[in-house]
Amino acid sequence: MSVRDLTAQDFVPYKTMSSGAFGGTFDPESPTAPREFSPSETPIGIDSAGLPGGVDGVLAAGARIRHDQITLGGGLVGSGGIAGLVVHPAHRGDGLFSELITAVIARCDVEGLPVSMLYPSHPAIYHRYGYQVVARGQSLIVPLLDLQRIPAVPHRRLVPVTAATMPRLRELYHRLSADDNAMLRREPPLFALGLPAAGWSALLLQDESGTDHGYLSWTRLSQDPHGVGLEVHELMGRTRSDRLALLRSLGSWSTVTELARLRVRTEDPVLDALPGAGARPSPQPVPLVMMRVIDTAATLRARRAPEPLSGSIRLVVEDGTVPAGTCRAAGTFLVSADGGTIAADTVDELADPTTPDVLGTVRLDIHAASLLLMGGRTLADARRLDLSAVADPAAETFLDALLAGPRPSVMDAF
């Protein structure tokens, strides 16, 4: 079997197969139905015709690779987001998933996407190919009466978000998420420049000079099995006072509904501003986010190093989950930090390990590398998860410091 690029002629067969697998309907005759793949996606697939029992004009499997950018260690890195990976029911169990996911990984490497991201319903199947759970979606059920008691914050006012002010919200999102790990940059054409779908609303928080300090976005719900009347997509502010002002605004909804579901980042600063002890985890299923390193050196170079950190280590990444040469995750790398910049270059593993300028060696399997290079975790964390992470003491201290930061958060799904 061979994996090929899908074309506009494959769009309807792919969408039909995808909607049949994931639910929903796709009517190609509808005047509003999409007609082609996004220009910021690479669609690939396998034809049914070349397989036992195959049929001409039918796709046996397909997937889309999104070309996103995500925040990482104070920088940005390209991410191959896997969307709509599907195998036709007639060809399941024939090894097509393995063929397709390996091709996805290889294609991410070819197209200069140093990491890959997906949202699995069955993590184990992707774990076999080097993907590692790095984040979990988190939402809290918040009693709105608790928020109504927050005192007014002086020198702040709220402004409705319209098509004219939406660019300011986008710029504020970029600024407030810049130091997070794994947050999507939300660039077009994968993300529209205008207002999101109908029902979405937002407010900007300003000071008296008109400078933006935060924003709140939500959708009003009419029916929810948990009694939630407001779906709060994001609440982000520059300071704790700004977040309190936004929470107080959210509390104004208590006259028409009792509960809000507040989506939060993994280590969200808003958690420190929530008053009282009434907030509780949402009973909804917790979405998982898996990521995989595609190019270790490029992933490291995309980050910023802590300014005071200086030195070099030898990093060995082992990857037996895909055939050798599929991507550039595996290898031996000389990793250095100096003046806030990270250098990472492939070196010979057999080079003299006693080089005076090298603090020592860190050896990771692909799962540990995929966990750690996304930030916010230590080698000790990797070992607690039974991942292979072996290091000389000085090298471990260096790498932990190099990759420090908040744990990854992903607020978007695809």
Contacts of 234-240 with C-beta under 8 Å, sequence gap 24+, read 234/173, 234/263, 234/411, 235/262, 235/270, 236/172, 236/173, 236/176, 236/177, 236/270, 237/176, 237/205, 237/213, 237/269, 237/270, 238/176, 238/213, 238/214, 239/213, 240/269, 240/272, 240/273
* Class of the domain covering 295-402: alpha beta
Let me know: does 80 contact 111? Beta carbons within 8 Å: yes
Q: What is the pLDDT of residue 354?
A: 60
* Class of the domain covering 138-281: alpha beta
Q: What is the pLDDT of residue 353?
A: 57
Structure tokens at 262: 């507040």
Q: What is the pLDDT of residue 35?
A: 78
| Domain at 3-113: CATH code | 3.40.630.30
H helical segments located in 46-122 = 96-110
**207 — alpha (psi -120 to 50), left (phi > 0) or beta?**
beta
Q: What is the pLDDT of residue 22?
A: 84
DSSP bridge pairs for 231: 219, 261
Q: What is the pLDDT of residue 54?
A: 85
Tell me how far apart the alpha carbons of residues 348 and 34 are, in angstroms, rounded to a whole number: 49
Enumerate the domain spans of the chain. 3-113, 138-281, 295-402
Helices (H) and strands (E) in the chain — how many of each?
11, 19
Question: Is the model's pTM score more than 0.85?
Answer: yes
Tell me how far apart the alpha carbons of residues 401 and 365 are, in angstroms, rounded to a whole number: 19
Beta-carbon contacts of residue 7 (< 8 Å; ≥ 6 apart): none
Tell me how far apart the alpha carbons of residues 75 and 395 are, in angstroms, rounded to a whole number: 23
Q: What is the pLDDT of residue 211?
A: 97
Tell me how far apart the alpha carbons of residues 292 and 352 are, in angstroms, rounded to a whole number: 30
Tell me how far apart the alpha carbons of residues 392 and 390 are, in angstroms, rounded to a whole number: 7
The one-digit pLDDT tens for each residue of the chain (414 residues) are 699 999 999 999 899 899 888 887 777 777 777 778 999 999 999 999 988 888 888 899 999 999 999 999 999 999 999 999 999 999 998 899 999 999 999 999 999 999 999 999 899 999 999 999 999 999 999 999 999 989 999 999 999 999 999 999 999 999 999 999 999 999 999 998 899 988 999 999 999 999 999 999 999 998 888 899 999 999 999 999 999 999 999 999 999 999 999 999 999 999 999 997 789 999 988 899 999 999 999 999 999 999 999 999 999 999 999 999 999 999 999 999 999 999 999 997 666 556 668 999 999 999 999 999 999 999 999 999 999 999 999 999 999 999 999 999 999 988
Tell me how far apart the alpha carbons of residues 266 and 135 are, in angstroms, rounded to a whole number: 7
Domains 3-113 and 138-281 share a fold: yes
Structure tokens at 212: 């933006």
Beta-carbon contacts of residue 106 (< 8 Å; ≥ 6 apart): 322, 326, 327
In a 10 Å sphere around its CB, with 0-12 CB exposed, 13-18 middle and 19+ buried, how is residue 152 labelled? exposed
Q: What is the pLDDT of residue 11?
A: 93
